[in-house]
Amino acid sequence: KAGVTQTPRYLIKTRGQQVTLSCSPISGHRSVSWYQQTPGQGLQFLFEYFSETQRNKGNFPGRFSGRQFSNSRSEMNVSTLELGDSALYLCASSPDRTSGGPLDNEQFFGPGTRLTVL
């Protein structure tokens, strides 16, 4: 089974621009979560999508948004980029079956998209 894939792997943008990152989950996984990783703040949860609906949201400004398609692929968008948005953006997928056990909720991470804002 192919793992979680993220595109692009690297991205350089300038302040004020917007950017769209893409994530393809493991086949059969229905939940996709996004995290931002920075040296200062560590790993912070952005949002989670399940069945094309945002189910959980972290504490990020409205410039950060996302969506999920019917095939479970997900995109996140950051508008009006700021220097502080430079980070590694990680996507994780999970089976999210109904039992709620650790195997059902285990999150499998992609390689990330390294975003640099100049």
Please report whether residue 66 would count as binding other proteins according to CB under 8 A. Answer: no
Say if CB 87 and CB 102 are below 8 A apart: no
Please report whether residue 42 would count as binding other proteins according to CB under 8 A. Answer: yes
* Binds other proteins by CB under 8 A, chosen from 13, 22, 45, 86: 45
Please state, in angstroms and rounded to a whole number, the distance separating the CA atoms of residues 11 and 56.
Answer: 26
Total residues contacting other proteins (rule CB under 8 A)?
Answer: 28
Please report whether residue 102 would count as binding other proteins according to CB under 8 A. Answer: yes
Please report whether residue 43 would count as binding other proteins according to CB under 8 A. Answer: yes
Instruction: Output the CA–CA distances (angstroms, integers) from residue 7 to 52, 75, 81, 106, in the order listed.
Output: 19, 10, 18, 22
Token representation of residue 98: 């109904």
Please report whether residue 101 would count as binding other proteins according to CB under 8 A. Answer: yes
Say if CB 29 and CB 96 are below 8 A apart: yes
User: In the complex, which residues of this chain contact other proteins (CB under 8 A)?
Assistant: 3-4, 31, 33, 35, 42-43, 45, 48, 50, 55-56, 58, 90, 92, 94, 96, 100-102, 105-112
